[in-house]
Amino acid sequence: MADDKDVLRDVWFGRIPTCFTLNQDEVTEREAEPYYLLLPRVSYLTLVTDKVKKHFLKVMKAEDVGEIWFEYEGTPLKWHYPIGVLFDLHAFNTVLPWSITVHFKNFPDQDLLHCSSNSVVEAHFMSSIKEADALKHKSQVINDMQKKDHKQLWMGLQNDKFDQFWAMNRKLMEYSTEEEGFRYIPFRIYQTMSDRPFIQKQFRPVSPEGKVHTLGILLKEMYPAAIPNEGEQKRYQAVIHGIEPLLETPLQWLSEHLSHPDNFLHICIIPVPTD
């Protein structure tokens, strides 16, 4: 029987086949070939696109090159969301590979954060982990770790080292046997139809009466529309890592197994395709 460890591996090694094409407006010396890459779902765009950048810079003049940014069907892609979240949110139910347009000018300042180097990604990633642990363990676990342990988490993500990352991350996923789970579940619910970036509230894995909270209970509380009423057609899909877990899945288990490396459970609410 498959083990829960396999879930962690599957989550970590999720890849999205992507086709990068250069924006038509970019000035090039010769035609730019599209670039195909398998992007790790759990990583960040700017962290894994060095090769893409190099590829397109070959056909461009240095003076025409501004900060790189990515766009999908007119939507600028926020690099600080995990790649899998961006894909599930914008391109779920579309044909693969995922077609991303690469830009080197007209950086949309109002939509995107600047990302000058990997250290910006690292800072963002680590702050997410710290925020998650504040919710889970009142920051006790992350604060007990040493600097090198933090580094190990980051290096694990950066170098796609599952073992290295999980050797440390397992500590963040532990909870004492006296409790039924984390203090609060770190989660974020994304939707395309709203201006609000995402929903994030304090939510416990178990009710005060000792009832186990499930994904369904969370959604009912946070985004009631995501749950179809009796006899109603399903309008939304709740997607995590490209799959739709059953609503009765316990939240604590989801948090332990389907969280991104930043320790948040990222849930995308997307409309059911209408075809």
Partner 1 sequence: MCIQKSSERFEGPGFLIGLLLLRKQSRGAAMPVSLLWAVDVYGRVYSLSTAGQQWEHCRDALMEFKRVTAAQQCCWGIACDNNIYLNVHASDLSIRYQEETYENQRWNPVDGFSDRLLPSDRWQWSDITGLQHQPLDSFRLPSGSWEWEGDWFIDENFEGEPTEKGGWTYSIDFPATYTKDKKWNSCVRRRRWLRYRRYKATDTWAKIPSQQSTLPDPFSDISCGGWELSEEPRGRLSLWAVSLQGKVWFREGIHHHNPEGSLWEEVSLPGEVVQISCGPGDLVWAVLWEGQLIVREGIGRDCPKGSSWVVVDSPSPDVGAIHVAVGMNVVWALTKDNKVWFRRGVNSHNPCGSGWINMVGEMLMISVGLNDQVWGIGCEDRAVYFRQGVTSSELSGKTWRVINVPRDGERSHSSASASSLQSAGCYFCGEVRGQSVASDVESDTEKGSTDGATGLVASDYPESLDAPADQTSDGPKPLIPKVTSDSFISELVSDRDSAKTAPSVLPEEDDVPGDGEVTAPSSGAALPQSQSGGPHDPQWSNVDLEEAQILQVQTGLVPESSDTCSLSSVATYTLAMEDQYGADEHPLWAWVSGGGCSVDTHSQLHWFNCSMNSSSLVQSVQSMSLSVSPAQTAAWRKQILEQLSERSKREMDNFRHYEQAIEQSVWVKKGCMQWWRDWKPHKWIDVQFALEQFTGPEGNKDGILFIYYNFCEEKKYLHAFINEITILVPVLNEAKHTFAVYTPERTKQRWPIRLAAATEQEMHDWLALLSVSCCDSRKIQGPPSKQAVWSITCKGDIFVSEPSPALEAMPYPTPCDQMFWRQVGGHLRVVECNSVGVVWGIGYDHTAWVYSGGYGGGFFQGLASSTDNIYTHTDVKSVYIYENQRWNPVTGYTSRGLPTDRYMWSDASGLHERTKTNTKPPSPQWTWVSDWAIDYGVSGGTDREGWQYAADFPASYHGYKTMKDFVRRRRWARKCKLTTTGPWQEIPPISLSDVTILPCATQSSSGVDVVPLWAISNKGDVLCRLGVTALTPAGTSWLHVGTDQPFKSISIGAASQVWAIAKDGSAFYRGSVSPQSPAGDSWYHIPSPAKQKLKQVSVGRTSVYAVDENGNLWYRQGVAPSYPQGSSWEHISNNVRKVSVGPLDQVWIIADKVQGSHGLSCGTVCHRLAVQPLTPKGQSWDYGIGGGWDHVTVRGNSMEPPRFRLPVLSQSVLQVKDVAVNGNAT
Q: Which stretch binds partner 1 (CB under 8 A): 62-70, 101-109, 210-218, 267-275?
A: 210-218
Least distance (Å) from partner 1 to the CB of residue 63? 28
Is 180 near partner 1 (CB under 8 A)? yes
Q: Which stretch binds partner 1 (CB under 8 A): 6-14, 64-72, 130-138, 139-147?
A: 6-14
Sketch the per residue contact string, 93 through 132, with partner 1: x for CB under 8 A, - otherwise.
---xx-----------------------------------
CA distances from 263 to 41, 185, 231 (A): 14, 10, 36
Least distance (Å) from partner 1 to the CB of residue 273? 15
Is 177 near partner 1 (CB under 8 A)? yes
Report the 3 state secondary structure along the chain.
CCCHHHHHHHHHCCEEEEEEEECCCCCCCCCCCCEEEEEECCCCHHHHCHHHHHHHHCCCCHHHCCCCEEEECCEECCCCCCHHHHHHHHHCCCCCCEEEEEECCCCCCCCCCCCCCHHHHHHHHHHHHHHHHHHHHCCHHHHHCCHHHHHHHHHHHHCCCHHHHHHHHHHHCCCCCCCCCCCCCCEEEEECCCCCCEECCCCCCECCCCCECEHHHHHHHHCHHHCCCCCCCCCEEEEECCECCCCCCEHHHHHHHCCCCCCCEEEEEEECCCC
CB closer to partner 1, 59 vs 173: 173
Is 225 near partner 1 (CB under 8 A)? no
Q: Which 16-75 residues touch partner 1, going by CB under 8 A? A: 16-17, 36-40, 43, 48-49, 51
Number of residues that bind partner 1 (CB under 8 A): 57
Q: Which 237-266 residues touch partner 1, going by CB under 8 A? A: 241-246, 248-250, 253, 258
Give the residue, chosen from 10, 78, 141, 222, that forms a contact with partner 1 under the rule CB under 8 A. 10
Which residues contact partner 1 (rule: CB under 8 A)?
A: 1-8, 10-11, 14-17, 36-40, 43, 48-49, 51, 96-97, 152, 155, 158-161, 163-164, 166-167, 169-170, 173-174, 177, 180, 206, 209-212, 241-246, 248-250, 253, 258
